[in-house]
Structure 1
Amino acid sequence: MGDQERIEPRALLEKQQEDILQCPFPTVKERTNTLLRLKQMLIDHEAAFIEALVSDMRRPAFEAFSFEIALLLNEIEYVCRSLKRWARFERSYQFKFGYIEALRTKRSPYGSVLIISPWNYPLQLALMPAISALAAGNRCVIKPSEYAPATSELLHKVVSQTFPPELVSVITGDRQLAKQLTTLPWDLVFFTGSQETGKAVSQQAAEQLTPVILELGGKNACILDETGFSPETIREIVWGKFLNAGQTCIAPDTLFVHESVYERTLSEISAALLAFYGEFPNDSKDYARICHDRHFQKLLHVIAQGKVLYGGTYNADDLFIAPTVLTDIQPGSSIMQEEIFGPVLPVIPYTDLKSLLDQKVIQRDALVAYVFSKNKQHIEWMKNYMRSTTVSVNQVIHHGANPRVAFGGVGRSGHGSYHGKAGFLSFSYEKTDYNAYRYLHVSDKFPPYSDQDMRIVRKFRKWLL
């Protein structure tokens, strides 16, 4: 299959919608074959994708494979194993007065889906929702981020060589293209990105009455109480925070530490960072860079809001910001309100967890909350306090790689979820075939009504309606 020509967006949408009229419900076998082609595409072009990810963000090859390609391969295999079961018809029968009700329900695809993906994981976050969309029987158009140009162009090239445009297509361009796309009458829009842009996408989609799934950011609090401290715990937290130079939507955003282990925690954080990235992290092949200059400048402003305990150095020419630990955060600082999304970790001591939660400094509807503790009451407090779809106990990041865990936000962190079955359900809707088999004609339901009719309805309402 040759390269797709770069089709104008509206024409591409119309092409997909015409194809939907011809084949609205791809079979499970057809969907599985599509996913397996996607899997083979990733395998065949693995080296090229890793090279593109390294080019865009100086991404360590280990991270590029582990958190982009491997996650996608695992997701495809899990979905292919489960799809037949998820797509199965559900049947039920009910006896009514005068007829038998036969119901047959199944999940039906929305149709043509627009996926707008971000720059921080430019391959994974473009294709992960596409896996869910295709599994549910949709067609999809992917708009990757212009801030990851090498990955975006490669994705366009290999997708166009693998799939016809009426099934899967990638469109590259800037923000203006994204705005143009969201004004078109898609059947569903899936957006991953900032809260500000998510609001704009929702407003534009609302003009077309198009349903939207939003995967936004959030300040993911990480609680370390007096029972949860250990050097191993600190290594987990540091790894999760500084993975991809902190540019991970489910990274621990701010670390709250019980005062009894605060000083030891600071010491262990410094030791872990030194062990991970060395004395000169700018020379480490295992440390990524900030994606673009605008975000780089924002992070410099974040660093200025506290006392630098570790790191703090940067190089604008290389978009490098060292792993940085902040203490003594200034009261009222924006760092306590806005997602950091970078290699800056504020560490804040607290005296009592209940009092900390009562202060409402922790965002309840973050994407995830982390708690490291052996205290069951503390864990339950966090679970009850948070509105997040996930509360992760004694581990960071790993839940996002598990296809059995629904990945999504609530409130300010978005709405809707995907990964595994959650994605299959989000990219489809329930459709019911309703059949009635009459064995007795009942005339009392027609007007004019009598008092006798009312008495019958009251007595036999469960069988009449």
Structure 2
Amino acid sequence: MPRVARKESSTGVYENMEYKEIVKIVNEQKEYFNNGKTLDIEFRLAELKRLKSAIIGNEQEILNALKQDLYKPLIESYTSEIGLIIREINTAIKNLKKWAKPEKIKSTFLTFPSKNYIMAEPFGVSLIISPWNYPFQLSLVPLVGAIAAGNCCIIKPSEYSVASIDVIKKLINNTFDSNYIFVIDGDSEVSKYLLEQPFDKIFFTGSPEIGKIVMERAAKHLTSVTLELGGKSPCVVDKNINIDITAKRILWGKFMNAGQTCIAPDYLIVHKDIKEQLYIALKKWITVFFSENPQNSPDFGRIINKKHFDRLKNYLVESKIIFGGSSNEQKLYIEPSIIEIDDLNSPIMQEEIFGPILPVVVYHKPQDIKEIIARNPNPLGFYLFSTDKMLMKQLIHGIPFGGGCINDVISHVTNHNLPFGGRGTSGIGSYHGRYSFDAFSHKKSVLQNGFIFDMSMKYPPYKDIHTHIRKFIMK
């Protein structure tokens, strides 16, 4: 397959595929889809099983790549990448026949005696654009939905996760026919070429800024999109809590993958009465989790590249540091850090942090919470630690967000029976489990009539009695 010359970048070495080759692959996938092979449920089940076998067969290579790209601890790599994907595949295999079965819908008086049902129809050729922070999970979990729903698919992983891209390419391109599923690597130029193609579905995970570009390009072809974006996910800490457990749970979710998780608590909103107590607990548990020197801990990751390292380091330079603050550029290490925010207009409070820095904002009354969150509306995640049922109701019902937890963080994403997705600036649509199947399916309404009964009053010429009957029926 012809390619342009190899290129060097800050992220490593990659090869950009020629535009005409991208067009060729998309057209070949459209032809493959149009032959109807993917409509067969048994075919889809067989392909899901092939994907599962490929993941299991490449498990060690996946773990090695994640260690190389992000210095991910083994348990995090298995749980949040391999294990989560396998569970999604198992769920799809177990339930696919039920998901794909036409859903019977009750007929109305006006449509009697017809049969009415909803069919799940694959969109066609789908594009999955995935990020670097969870390179396998965020490429392959959407793929599970695409396969289950009967789509062909092209995957474009982020060029930042250099080692992971090589494994994803090998895993997918050696397992599936390129006319069916194919991985294309490269930089933003390749993404641009891909977004010019007439895909039937685009599934994008990344920043709101790039999400807007994806949606704009998709609009040219009126392509259906699912956008899994990010934002500043707040974590409210009320005074009526178990401070020790609260600190542990917050730190676990915040510093997993060195804070490079789209649903990690981005900042804390802490009641003034417990701020100092919480600081003590946070400092204590950071040391317990990662030792006195987290740089030497095998359980704490690294920043993906120098660009993001520099961005995070600048935050620390400008901040009031309560704990942490050190860094090592050579090792792309940023120490787990707690900072206190006096100015809500500071740069760190304007954009998603995506790193191991946890800002703390103090609140005095419940109304303060809504005002603080309203500065960065529609977060992907929202977390509340409290035993106050009134406050729970007030905030859960009163604050728009994608999904969240009460007295925990990020755990909602582990339940495949819950839809995962954002709203507004944090995304469009949802997936996981059944919702992944739905994300890659068009719900087609069908009414099937017979010839035995034919209602004469629906045909012209109309009589007054027909109008009266219709009015009576439709009131």
The more displaced of 88-97 and 198-207 is 88-97
Q: Identify the residue that residue 135 of structure 1 maps to in structure 2.
A: 148
What corresponds to 2:354 in structure 1? Answer: 341
Q: What pairs up with 1:380-419 in 2 under 5 angstroms?
A: 380-419=393-432
Q: Secondary structure at the match of 1:113?
A: strand
Bigger drift between 98-107 and 193-202 goes to: 98-107
1:334 deviates by 2.3
1:225 aligns with one of 225, 238, 243: 238
Q: What secondary structure sits across from 1:189 in the alignment?
A: strand
Deviation at 1:447, TM superposition (A): 4.1
User: Which residue of the partner structure matches residue 109 of structure 1?
Assistant: 122
**Matched residue, 2:441:** 428
Residues 38 and 44, structure 2, Cα contact 8 Å, conserved in 1: no
SS at match of 2:330: helix
Q: Give the structure 2 partner of residue 189 of structure 1.
A: 202
1:10 aligned residue: 23
2:189 corresponding residue in structure 1: 176
Q: CA deviation at 1:458?
A: 2.6
Per the TM alignment, residue 216 of structure 1 is displaced from its structure 2 partner at its CA by 0.5
Alpha-carbon spacing, 1:441–1:201, altered in 2? closer, same or farther (3 Å): closer
Once the two structures are TM-superposed, the CA of residue 308 in structure 1 deviates from its matched residue by: 0.9
1:90 positional shift: 2.0
- Aligned twin of 1:3: none
Distance in 2 (CA, whole Å) between partners of 1:79 and 1:187 is 22
Deviates more, 1:315-324 or 1:235-244: 315-324
Amino acid in structure 2 at the alignment position of 1:248: T
The 5 A counterparts of 1:357-372 are: 357-361=370-374, 363-372=376-385
Structure-1 residue corresponding to 2:102: 89
Cα offset, 1:448, TM superposition: 4.6
| Residue pair 1:354, 1:381 contacting (<8 A) in 2 also | no
Stretch deviating more after TM superposition (427-436 or 368-377): 427-436
Task: Supply the distance in 2 between the matched residues of 1:94 and 1:66 (Cα, whole angstroms).
Answer: 46
Structure 2, gaps ≥5 residues long: 1-16
> Which residue number in structure 2 is paired with residue 58 of structure 1?
71
TM-score, scaled to structure 1: 0.93
2:220 corresponds to: 207
Preserved contact between residue 215 and residue 225 of structure 2 (Cα < 8 Å): yes
Contact 1:305–1:329 (CA<8 Å) still a contact in 2?
Answer: no
**How many Å separate the matches in 2 of 1:239 and 1:170?**
33
1:430-453 deviations in whole A, cap 9, x for unaligned? 123322223355555444544444
1:257-290 Cα shifts (integer Å, max 9, x gaps)? 1111110100111111111112222222211111
1:250 aligns with 2:263: yes
Q: Distance in 1 between matches of 2:133 and 2:108?
A: 55
SS in 1 for 2:392: helix
Cα gap change, 1:307/1:95 in structure 2, threshold over 3 Å: closer, same or farther? closer
C-alpha deviation, 1:64, in angstroms = 1.2
Aligned residue among 159, 183, 193 for 1:146: 159
Q: Distance in 1 between matches of 2:112 and 2:256?
A: 62
Are 2:37 and 2:43, in contact at CA under 8 Å, matched by a contact in 1?
Answer: no
Deviation readout 1:371-416 (Å, 9 max, x if unpaired): 1111111111110122113230111121112111111010010110
Greater CA deviation, 382-391 or 111-120? 382-391
Partners of 2:35 and 2:374 in 1: CA distance = 54
> 3-state DSSP class of the match of 1:418?
coil
C-alpha separation in 1, matches of 2:108 and 2:312: 65
* Deviation of the 1:127 alpha carbon: 0.4
Q: Does residue 321 of structure 2 align to residue 308 of structure 1?
A: yes
Q: Distance in 2 between matches of 1:84 and 1:455?
A: 45
Any idea what SS the aligned residue of 2:82 has? helix
Among candidates 269, 273, 281, match of residue 282 of structure 2: 269
The equivalences for 1:282-361 within 5 A come to 282-361=295-374
How far did 1:28 drift? 2.5
Q: SS of 1:371's equivalent?
A: strand
Alignment TM-score, normalising by the size of structure 2? 0.91
1:249 maps to a residue whose letter is C
**Number of residue pairs the alignment of both structures matches:** 457
Assess, with a 3 A threshold, how the Cα gap between structure 1 residues 399 and 216 changes in structure 2: closer, same or farther: same
1:102 alignment partner AA: K
Distance apart, 1:92 and its partner CA:
4.3
Q: Look up the equivalent residue of 1:81 and give its one-letter code.
A: K
